[in-house]
Amino acid sequence: MCMSFLAPLTVDAASPPKFITAKHAVAAPEAAARLCQTYSWACSAQGARVSAGSSADLAALKQVNASINRSVREITDESQFRVLDHWTLPTSKGGDCEDFALLKKQHLMQMGFPAKSLLIATVLDRQRQGHAVLVVRTSHGDLVLDNLTNKIKYWDDTGYMFLRMQNPNAPSTWIMVGASG
């Protein structure tokens, strides 16, 4: 369900950056195992961090998040592909959470955002259900683009338990996180 922006994201340059900390390397989620072969751009390590101080960058993140949340219909992989989990770009029928995250990553890369700052993460949502989001690694911390809300939040303001995410240094690999937001 789409929700309106509840409040503008504020970046406090005096506050320490809010980054997700890796514990160790881990296998990719089973359904994401072939992500890099299917979409090589999804595992690119090009670029650097985005500067969250730029109002243009924040506006672009909000626009992409809201636009995709509004334009893609939510549909389960089981309904669409007859499997429990299938990571792909949304089809004309729609997509589920990781499909939304992948499409947001693609759009932001096309807009010039560096690939290595756009990381897919798996989480447990507030109801402790499996979910996927796009993490945008910025100079001020990790921001989350989520198909459940149009509001951009720092990872530790989401209320989610972060399980694993693409490695910021090598997005074709994954890291264990195990941290609550």
Is pLDDT at 2 greater than 60 in this prediction? no
Mean pLDDT for the chain overall: 88
> Where is pLDDT greater, at 30 or 179?
30
pLDDT value of position 12: 53
Place of tokens 């219909």: 73
Q: Per-residue DSSP letters for 134-163? A: EEEEETTEEEEEETTEEEEEEGGGS--EEE
DSSP state of 42: G
The pair of structure tokens assigned to 18 is 């809010």
> Where is pLDDT greater, at 95 or 181?
95
* Model pTM score: 0.89
- Give CA–CA dist 129/161, Å, rounded: 10
pLDDT value of position 5: 29
pLDDT digits (tens, 9 = 90+) for 4-26: 222 345 555 556 668 999 999 99
pLDDT value of position 131: 97
pLDDT value of position 1: 28
* Domain 24-180 in CATH 3.10.620.30: yes
Confidence of residue 140 (pLDDT cuts 50, 70, 90): confident
The alpha carbon of 72 is separated from its chain's Cα centroid by a whole number of angstroms, namely 16
The dihedrals phi and psi of 142, each to the nearest 5 degrees, come to: -95, 120
Mean pLDDT of 30-56: 82
pLDDT value of position 39: 95
- Distance between first and last Cα of the chain: 21
Q: How many CB atoms lie within 10 A of CB 91?
A: 13
Is pLDDT at 81 greater than 80 in this prediction? yes
